[in-house]
Amino acid sequence: MKKNLLLITLVIFNMSYTQKLLKTKKLEFDNFYTNPIPSPNGELAIITGEQFIGISILELKTKKVTPITITEGNGYGYSWATDNQTIFYKVKPEDGYVMDSEVFSYNIKTKETKKVEINHNYLPSYQGENNVIVYTNIKTLKIEAIDLKNMKSWVVTNNDGQFYSATLSHDGTKVAVHEGSDIYVYNIDGSGLIAKLGPGIATSWSIDDNYLIGYLSESTDGHEISNSDIYLYNVKKSRSKKITTTRNVHESNVSFLNENTIIYADDKTGDIITSKIKF
C-alpha cells in the first residue's frame, strides 16, 4: 500500500511540472529501432534493432538507414568519436556472453573496421582519444574514472551502494550515475555528491551541462513496460520536470541533438522521434 501511495504522490507532484514537446517529428521505419545516439554534429545517429541486435547509421535529414552489423549484442553499447565519422561498438563472442565482448571501430567514410584494444566496459564513454572516461567496476559495482593517458584510475562514488550507467558531462567535471531507481550527480574527481535528482534513467547532458534528460518507465505487471515518459532534470536546483504525458508512446533512450532539440526512441513502435524542448 505504501508503494502505491508513493507512486500516486510522484504522479501528482510531477503533473504541475508537465509541459508539451514542441515541433515533434516522428521518423517511422519498416524495422524496429531503438537507442539513438547522435553524432557530435547532430547530423547522424547510431541505432540498434529489437533486442539490441545489430547497429545501423541513421542520416537524420534524409531518414536513410545504413546497416553496419547484424550481430546479437552489438547494440548494448556504442559511442561516437569526435570526428563524426568513427563509431565504437561491442562485439559479443560467438559462444560467449556480452560481458566478454570486444570493442571494434567502424569508419563511415572508409567503411573500415578495426579491433580496438580497450575494455568494453569503457563504452559508451570512450571516444577514441586519450581522455578521462567513466565506467562501472563490475567487481565492486562502484563508478570509476580512468585517464587513458597514464592509465590512472580512481573511484568516483566513494559511498555505499551499487552504481551503474555513468554519464560524463561535456566539460568532464561531473558524472550522472544511478543507484537503485534514483539518479545522482557526483564530482568526477571523487570529492563527493553534487545532487540527488530523483527516480529515472538519465541518458544525456544538455550542451551547457546544466540539465540532464532521461526517462521513467512504469510496469503494471512487473515485466512488460506499460508506460514511459521523458523527464528533464535541473542539476543545480535538484529538480525534475516531466515533459511528456503519453500513453501511446513509450519514450526511452533520450539524447540532446543540440541546445534545444532531443532525439529518442518509441520502444512501443520502434520509431525514432526528434522534438524541440523548452527549459
pLDDT profile of the chain (279 residues), mean per 10: 36 41 89 96 97 96 95 91 96 84 96 95 91 95 96 95 96 97 97 96 97 89 80 96 89 95 95 93
Residue 8 lies in a domain: no
pLDDT value of residue 14 = 38
Residue 277 lies in a domain: no
pLDDT value of residue 215 = 96
Cell of 103: 570493442
Under DSSP, the state recorded for 250 is B
Residue 40 lies in a domain: yes
C-alpha to C-alpha distance for 85 and 153, rounded to whole angstroms: 29
* Phi, then psi, of 239 in degrees rounded to 5: -135, 145
C-alpha to C-alpha distance for 179 and 127, rounded to whole angstroms: 25
Nearest to 98 by CA among 142, 50, 138: 138
Largest CA-CA distance found in the chain, in angstroms, rounded = 58
**What are 106-159's pLDDT values in tens digits?**
999 999 999 999 999 999 999 998 789 999 999 999 999 999 999 999 999 999
Domain that holds residue 107: 31-125
Cell of 99: 560481458
Cell of 176: 550522472
The count of other CB atoms within 10 Å of the CB of residue 57 is 18
Nearest to 38 by CA among 55, 52, 58: 58
Taking only Cα atoms into account, the Rg of the chain, rounded to an integer number of angstroms, comes to: 18
Residue 42 lies in a domain: yes
Cell of 273: 522521434
Cross-strand bridge partners of residue 229: 216
The one-letter code for the residue type at 59 is: E
Based on the structure, what is the number of domains in the chain?
1
Residue 50 lies in a domain: yes
pLDDT value of residue 20 = 63
Residue 245 lies in a domain: no
